[in-house]
Structure 1
Amino acid sequence: MPKLFPFRATLPLAKADVFPLNNQPSLYIYYQLFGNNQCQKGFVALIDPLDSSCILQHEATFPDHVQSTIASLEKVNTQIQPTFGLYDDPSQLLEPIMDEIIQQKPHEWTDPKGVIHQLKPLTDPSKISLFQEVLSERKILLADGHHRLAASKHLSTHQAKSSSDHKSYHMMYLVNAFPRLKDIKPFHKMYKMNPENREGLWAELKASFNLSLLPSGPSLADLPKEGFYLLWGKEIYSLGYKAHSSEFPVVSTLLQIDKVIEGLKPSIINYAYTEDEVEFYDQLDNGQFDFGILFPALPLEEIISSSENGIILPPKSTNFYPKPAENSLHFALDGGLVANRN
């Protein structure tokens, strides 16, 4: 189970003058206000990235993206954005403490999407101990930041081989999954392919899916949100996986779609993904891509259960929102004071 470590964070220069941090090892209470009076409550702490037994990863990574993240981390030797993890605590033991701390004049800013971020250090050792105790009994689902965690693991493994005294740390924003929204937004995917291979795509899809051409006229907003859809030109087809898992119906369908696309990878000229349905439709409508897959929201419970069973989704399958902001906190790998490492 995860060990949490309070630490001394730093801030980007632009924020350091308006929100000075003390020098005490702290947990950092972090609230995000968004949408229709919604509030995501969490805190930032350090974990050991090499303690993989406590972290459930649900998405694969792009190898080249991991390598570029490693290069960036080696260059600056500083983590500039927490990864995003979820733990499950139906009793909500930590929320009253977080509410108390965040009311004490937090640093506050609004990002371009309108999300209000609030940040305040927690320095009380007895309260920090309660956070450590609660999380010691939980597993963490890695919601966002798979590439950053992979880069952190790589560097920590390399440094541990170089020095027996090396201690590994990774900055993570931790949120109780129990009170949050249970349906996770997807990314929709668009593809440009060699025209000669269209028949191959149809054959592969028909082997695994029941394809039903929908009547002309419905907009994306009119489509049932629980469905999978193939868009090709002006045509919209529903996709029904013939052999979907009754235990993981959404996850198994998503994986089979990815398997079909991977099998046709030599024919794929270009691809892209977006969380925005309007952008998805516009890019297909103007001919930038030949076809696209519109995905439904993924049930959080299904993501957690499939992860516990070792099932890994393709990269960019889920869009947990809101995410911790880049440059909200920094952790210097060679100079960030860490407390209570045993």
Structure 2
Amino acid sequence: MAGIFSFRGIYYNPELFSQLPYLVTPPYDIISPEEQEKYYNDHEYNFIRLELGKTFPDDTPENNRYTRAKSYLNNWLSEGILVREETPALYLLEEIFSWEGQSYVRKSIFASVQVEPYEKGVILPHENTLPKAKEDRLNLLRETRVNTSPIMALYDDSQNQAFNILKEKASLMFELTDEGGRVNKFYKVVDPEALLKVQNYFKDQKLFIADGHHRYDTALTYAREMEKKGVNAYRVLMQLIPFADPGLLVLPTHRIVLKAQSSPVEILEKILAYFTIVEVPLKEILNRFATLKERYVFGMCLKDKAYLLYLKENDPARVLPELPEVIARLPVTVLHELILKPAGIGEKETLSGEYLKYTRNAQDCLTEVVEGKAPYSFLVPAPTAEDVANVALSGNKMPQKSTYFYPKPLSGLVIHPVHD
């Protein structure tokens, strides 16, 4: 099944390890223009210049963010700012972080992974991609011929055997605390026996893309381009995490309604057939919602009151028979099909971007409504990693803004040369 390989990674010179907090960045797709500027100013060798370089009005095909990234990469290698590992290795990352007052440790393997077409059923997606985002990453890959950030993928390993085999032979490269307070411990493993054991372990595994669908599609497109030139480039950098890892967090993505198509009273009347509606004091809604164990209950926040909406049917597939069962059973599907659609916010309105705003912070749902910036909002239960696997195995795709795996791995820990 999955082919994983050690590789000669590129990383910052160990002499710069003490400055790593000022060198690494988040992945490109969550960096705002303001943050991009900040990272440029943090350090002259900040990874932003490779991961998400600036664009300028006078950019040309010969001089643009992608060609400049290539120049930075080559110059930093020649100057010794970046160095390349002499021996093929697998890398381990331990991330120690907090979320909502609780501490977590996430353990993962960084590996070079064989790129396979989706139809082979070895590497499975769970969401659709956007052409514009793929074009950006493809242009960067064509110029630099490296992966600057990993794709996050999940696999089945309830005892974390693969990680533990490697950890026994691992040497700590560096430890850094990033701007969010997360501690990142990065290890290297070069022991041939341990590498072979783990490589063989993954031969029986499927990999489920959690985050990085655009980068994977880009890797596949690039590999096919190179194949026509007689070059094998069917490799991509992945961060591999077991489904059962206690530090694997999937956060909910709540919905803030920007344009009301129906009044709150009308909405409650329309959904009464499907939901048990319980009024809750506004000041209690966030705590009440956070402690709920039910899978199909939603919070509705108004300016002066709130409601908990309990789905009466245990299996939403029974009331949404027109949808594939794995899709119908997602909480976000229930919200859109049985609450937002009756409220006048269907697929057209959702895709327009004018009616809904998305947030992972439940407090935003309350604040924006109370401050009059939105008429109402909905709190949504988080999906599970198993939801991702079930949808991927079925060949279906989850609705947009369904999953957010937290935290995102840093970019700049290790660079993966595709032409290794």
- Shorter chain as denominator, the TM-score bin is 0.7 to 0.9
Query: Which of the two has greater helix per residue?
Result: 2
State TM-score, norm by structure 1.
0.82
% identical equivalent positions = 21
Q: Does 1:280 align with 2:365?
A: yes
Instruction: Classify 1:282/1:203 alpha carbon distance in 2 versus 1 (closer, same or farther; 3 Å).
Output: closer
CA distance in 2, matches of 1:150, 1:38: 31
Q: What secondary structure sits across from 1:147 in the alignment?
A: helix
The superposition leaves residues 59-116 of structure 1 with CA deviations (integer Å, 9 ceiling, x where unpaired) of 33344333333344345443211111111123433243333244x3331111122211
CA distance in 2, matches of 1:21, 1:205: 62
Corresponding residue to 1:244 among 313, 316, 333 = 316
2:38 maps to none
Q: 1:229 is matched by which residue type in structure 2?
A: G
Please list every run of 5 or more consecutive structure 1 residues that lacks an aligned counterpart in the other structure: 338-342
Instruction: Classify 1:271/1:83 alpha carbon distance in 2 versus 1 (closer, same or farther; 3 Å).
Output: same
Q: 2:236 is matched by which residue type in structure 1?
A: H
CA distance in 2, matches of 1:176, 1:146: 18
Instruction: Classify 1:327/1:292 alpha carbon distance in 2 versus 1 (closer, same or farther; 3 Å).
Output: farther
CA distance in 1, matches of 2:133, 2:354: 19
CA distance in 2, matches of 1:16, 1:150: 35
- Residue 314 of structure 1 and its aligned partner are, at CA, apart by 1.9
Q: What secondary structure sits across from 2:210 in the alignment?
A: strand
Corresponding residue to 1:111 among 178, 182, 187 = 178
1:322 maps to 407
Instruction: Classify 1:167/1:86 alpha carbon distance in 2 versus 1 (closer, same or farther; 3 Å).
Output: same
Corresponding residue to 1:135 among 191, 195, 202 = 202
Q: Does 1:98 align with 2:163?
A: no
Q: What secondary structure sits across from 2:195 in the alignment?
A: helix
1:70 maps to 138
Corresponding residue to 2:125 among 57, 71, 78 = 57
Q: What secondary structure sits across from 2:95 in the alignment?
A: strand
CA distance in 2, matches of 1:204, 1:312: 31
Contact preservation (8 Å) 1:258, 1:314: no
Contact preservation (8 Å) 1:182, 1:299: no
2:51 maps to none
Contact preservation (8 Å) 1:2, 1:54: yes
Instruction: Classify 1:279/1:41 alpha carbon distance in 2 versus 1 (closer, same or farther; 3 Å).
Output: same
2:193 maps to 126
- Matching of residues 1-20 of structure 1 within 5 Å: 1-12=1-12, 17-18=16-17
Greater alpha carbon shift after TM alignment, 36-45 vs 78-87: 36-45
Contact preservation (8 Å) 1:250, 1:298: no
Q: 1:257 is matched by which residue type in structure 2?
A: L
Q: Does 1:212 align with 2:277?
A: yes
Q: What secondary structure sits across from 1:165 in the alignment?
A: coil
Q: Does 1:198 align with 2:198?
A: no
RMSD after superposition = 3.3
- Matching of residues 227-238 of structure 1 within 5 Å: 227-238=297-308
Contact preservation (8 Å) 2:117, 2:220: no
Q: 1:18 is matched by which residue type in structure 2?
A: F
CA distance in 1, matches of 2:364, 2:317: 31
Greater alpha carbon shift after TM alignment, 168-177 vs 292-301: 292-301
CA distance in 1, matches of 2:409, 2:244: 18
2:217 maps to 150
Instruction: Classify 1:239/1:77 alpha carbon distance in 2 versus 1 (closer, same or farther; 3 Å).
Output: farther
Q: What secondary structure sits across from 2:10 in the alignment?
A: coil
CA distance in 2, matches of 1:61, 1:204: 36
CA distance in 2, matches of 1:265, 1:28: 41
Task: Pick 1 or 2: higher relative contact order, CA cutoff 8 A, min separation 6.
Answer: 1
- Residue 266 of structure 1 and its aligned partner are, at CA, apart by 7.3
1:43 maps to 109
State TM-score, norm by structure 2.
0.68
CA distance in 2, matches of 1:167, 1:118: 29
Please list every run of 5 or more consecutive structure 2 residues that lacks an aligned counterpart in the other structure: 19-82, 319-324
1:165 maps to 231
